[in-house]
Structure 1
Amino acid sequence: MRRLTTVLTATAVLVLAITLAPIGRPAFAGAWGSVDCRKTPSNPQCLVTVGTSGGPGSPGTTASSACHDPNGTVVPCSLPGVGWLADDGCYYQPATGDELAAAEAAGGILTPPAQWYVGQCGYPPVPGLTQFRVFGSAPGPQLLADMAVKALRLPAPVIRTNPSVAAQVLIRVPVWLWLDSWGDQTATASVPGMSVTATARPTRVVWSPGDGTSVACTGAGTPWSAGDDPASASPTCGHTYLSTSAGAPGNAFTLTAAVTWQVSWAGGGQTGTAPDMQTTAQVGVTVGTSQTVTIG
């Protein structure tokens, strides 16, 4: 599974491996050993279930992934009263009381949303090893968000034009450009008691007609219909070729559509964003000149 790698992006990375004097937390004793994921790997506490949305070119799917410690051993994703598994093999929950005071004494007082967390490390725990760490958002939702984002399946752009690129396009004749399959895609990662949904939203398409120019559009473009004037330009997204494709590879231009998707997530009382994604598609376009035939 994709481990917790982006939790600290909102804050400076600060990990203090501090062995504390035992701090009374009865929840530790009861939760450890309550489930052995190596013996019962299908236990819901050991799995994250991920489901993706369906749509044209992107059928919905459902699958489960196990949670692992840094050694690759399957371990619980979370432990009631103890915390959430992070990439270092520790189970974290917000530091409070004496733990928070100890963390602030060692590493300073933080500015929100940065927050001190205390982790009990290992499964079963390493005796006496308690570690402080700064997170910009709660480890549980972030872990599920990482998995949901990774599971997103974005359809490739489906390019449409008028005049159709299946025939020769003429210079100085406006070409309407638009895309099919334009809409949000989602994926949800869940464990018992919590789910996080990642959403990828198409926001922009950059067309590269192949003649050295580019056209940026904020939406899918306007589909041409039989009632539209074929000599008119698209009201939202189009291009007019001013040179033929003679001399280009295969005597055709390569028309490319590159779609930018903004990615966000929400769940577990948290929200966040992930890096933009991009999908592309290409078609060949033969561009020529109109021919006049003289009789007589």
Structure 2
Amino acid sequence: MRHSLPLAPQFYVTAPQPCPYLEGRMERKLFTSLQGDSAEQLNNSLSKQGFRRSQNVLYRPSCADCAACLSARIRVSDFRPTRSQRRTINRNAHLERRATSPWATEEQFSLFRRYLDSRHADGGMADMDVFEFAAMIEETPIRSRVIEYVDPEAGLKAAALTDVLDDGVSMVYSFYDPTLERNSLGTYLILDHVEIARAAGLPFVYLGYWVPGSPKMGYKAKFSGLELYHAGRWEGMNDPADYDSTTHPLKSDPIAEQVANITLPDTRAPRR
């Protein structure tokens, strides 16, 4: 009887480009495609190792001399809202949550454009058109949902593209009405996802990357129960000031060593 090993995913590295979080630095990503029958298993496994999904790609920062980006997740059992966060929940209590299939709508795109034009006009997604937006929402080989937040009298006010993992929910991308600054909708979406995960019995809410020294990412450090993927393992966040973003040529392991240390799921069919 001939035996064969399962096909392992192939990993690639992007060309260096300016970092969107820390001025004067260059970013590089390690990535692999997410496709086939084992896509969900691969996404579950690599999400636990600091990877993020973008359409049918899984990626993780792999910069040559900087290791500032740290994958962050909230441990639901240890989360306790602050007084300010409780006020945010109360201010948005009128919003109705609606979970839908990952299908893009004109209303979503209109809100998305207003959000980008106000908050990220110079970002990498600034020129995204309706077709690219639809691809971002709809091109997913795994369990994904669009969580909409609707004002019954004024329509869609916020939305999040959310993946359902075997140990949590992952907030892939969220956007909201930029004119409702007092409502702190970005914070509210995270708070509500904690409740979504809690109700589903899932232990984590994955938030993407926290970057010490980046004002854009500072808000993530305000959530209790936060864990960071650091040096190959998850650890509870200490004082944010304990993490630095200095560069050093030995900060990151060589690409071959990084790939060798990635744990892949066993996708072989069970014996009968």
Pairwise same-fold verdict (TM > 0.5) = no
Greater helix content: 2
Larger relative contact order (Cα-Cα within 8 Å, sequence gap ≥ 6): 2
Which structure's CA Rg is the greater one? 1
- TM-score normalised according to structure 2 size: 0.24
Greater strand content: 1
- TM-score normalised according to structure 1 size: 0.23
